Amino acid sequence: MKRWIFVLLFANLAVFGYGYYREFAANASPDNERLKPMNPESVRVLSAQQYAKLGPAKAAQLTLACAEWGPFNDAELTQARALLEPLALGKTVSTRKVEITAEHWVYIPPKANKAAAERALAELGRLNVSDAAIVSEAGQWQWSISLGVFRSRNAADSRFEEVRNKGVKTAVYRQRQQTVAGASIVLREPPQSVMQKLEEFKVRIPSSNVASGACPENR
């Protein structure tokens, strides 16, 4: 009698185990809807305007989302940080290096040699002209003095007028596409109120843009 009890118990366990295995295998199948990969075509980066229109409830559902404002050169980055400072965003703000393609150049034409270029740079210092640099790379522009590379003609014109008013009569403007180092400001999971502020701030730095999407480390 006891032998039959053990046989029936073993049979029940075998049936239960087989049923559990089939359910587990079905759930783990690639055809299972729950495990299908997300369609990459459905993922898109939101502009700041689109983000603002989501409203607080939907915006709150975007986890690990960042806003990125830029790109900036050194002077623009300083200005952008000053605009953000009153918001007291703390450790949610960081910067990342980016490359900027610009085609508007203000400069002093090439000098005869390195020593002449260094004398010209020292003279710029005496005239309170900052953010100038000697172009040392071999080629047509070697030993010229770069006074700024800009993405917009308006920004280049402003710089040109600034240095001319300080007494730099040899400054000139030309179009010359260059890739220079820059930076963007990244804000981690910004609330809608901050996104609205970014829209206001970017008007102060016309060549900048604001976008939202996955944080850089998650792209």
pLDDT given for residue 57 in this prediction? 55
pLDDT given for residue 10 in this prediction? 45
- Residues 158-195: tens digit of each pLDDT: 999 999 999 999 999 999 988 888 899 999 999 999 99
What stretch of H or E contains 95?
strand 93-108
Band (pLDDT 50/70/90 cuts) for residue 18 is very low
Contact (Cβ atoms closer than 8 angstroms) between residue 177 and residue 105? no
* Residue 121: other Cβ atoms inside 10 A: 16
Determine the Cα–Cα distance for residues 75 and 204; give it in Å rounded to an integer. Answer: 13
Determine the Cα–Cα distance for residues 106 and 132; give it in Å rounded to an integer. Answer: 10
pTM metric for this prediction: 0.54
Contact (Cβ atoms closer than 8 angstroms) between residue 109 and residue 173? no
Provide the CA 212 distance to its chain's centre, in angstroms. 10
- Residues 51-102: tens digit of each pLDDT: 566 665 555 544 458 999 999 888 889 999 999 999 999 999 999 999 888 8
Mean pLDDT, range 31-48, rounded to an integer = 42
